[in-house]
């Protein structure tokens, strides 16, 4: 595994290069988290550079995540990415969603959010990779029968690549993390 000294956006281009190399190695598609399309642009640049022919599946934040009736991915950018062959998935977050609606009213600890926090022990990006694989599968954008390359980050951009065999959120424990290819080392100081 390649370990990054820092977490976050600074690793986006390196992470995109590793994601595409890994997708070529596994002969598979890429599922990537992106709020605005910034990470997807980095992946499209690498796709061209490495002559990668697979599909990029872009998982956005849920509608209304920041502002009611809005999405951080502008309509204009969504259209631009669709025209470049990117599949775009916008849906409820598989590792918070309805449960966050409950915890924000009743307070307390609930199982799905505990799962999310446990996955964050590997770094936020690993949790995001798992969540996006579930969301892509629930939306029919990927098969649950073969591994895909997943890309996540910490707050913005990309810093993590995992190879994951997806599952549907209703069968969450059937999801398998096959390989963690790169992530921040999370060593403080």
Interface residue list for ligand FMN (CB under 6 A): 33-36, 38-39, 59-61, 93, 124-125, 127-128, 131-132, 152-157
Print burial letters for 33-54: b (CB count within 10 Å at least 16), e (below 16).
bbbbbebbbbbbebbeeeebeb
Tell me whether residue 12 or residue 27 sits nearer to ligand FMN (CB atom): 12
Residues 16, 42: Cα–Cα separation, whole Å? 6
User: Rounded to an integer, what distance in angstroms lies between the CA atom of residue 37 and that of residue 74?
Assistant: 9
Rounded to the nearest whole angstrom, what is the least distance from the CB of residue 17 to ligand FMN in the complex?
15
Pairing mode, strands 30-33 and 87-89: unpaired
How near is the Cβ of 25 to ligand FMN at its closest, in Å? 23
Which of residues 27 and 140 has its CB atom nearest to ligand FMN in the complex? 140
Distance CA 118, CA 90 (A): 24
Considering beta carbons, is residue 27 or 47 the nearer one to ligand FMN?
47
Indicate the residue among 157 and 166 with the shorter CB distance to ligand FMN. 157
Smallest distance, ligand FMN to C-beta of residue 35, A: 4
- The answer to whether the CB of 16 falls within 8 A of the CB of 52 is no
Q: How far is the CB of 85 from ligand FMN (least distance, A)?
A: 18
């Amino acid at each position: 595994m390649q370990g990054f000294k820092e977490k976050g956006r600074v690793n986006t281009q390196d992470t995109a290069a590793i994601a595409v190399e890994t997708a070529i190695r596994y002969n598979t598609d890429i599922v990537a988290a992106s709020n605005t399309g910034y990470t997807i642009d980095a992946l499209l640049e690498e796709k061209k550079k490495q002559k990668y022919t697979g599909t990029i599946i872009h998982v956005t934040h849920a509608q209304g995540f920041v502002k009611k009736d809005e999405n951080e991915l502008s309509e204009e950018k969504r259209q631009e990415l669709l025209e470049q062959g990117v599949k775009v998935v916008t849906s409820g977050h598989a590792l918070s969603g309805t449960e966050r609606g409950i915890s924000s009213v009743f307070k307390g600890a609930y199982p799905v959010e505990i799962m999310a926090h446990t996955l964050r022990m590997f770094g936020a990006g690993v949790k995001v990779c798992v969540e996006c694989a579930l969301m892509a599968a629930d939306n029919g954008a990927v098969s649950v029968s073969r591994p895909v390359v997943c890309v996540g980050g910490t707050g913005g951009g990309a810093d993590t690549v995992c190879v994951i065999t997806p599952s549907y959120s209703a069968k969450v424990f059937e999801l398998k993390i096959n390989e963690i290819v790169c992530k921040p080392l999370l060593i403080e100081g």
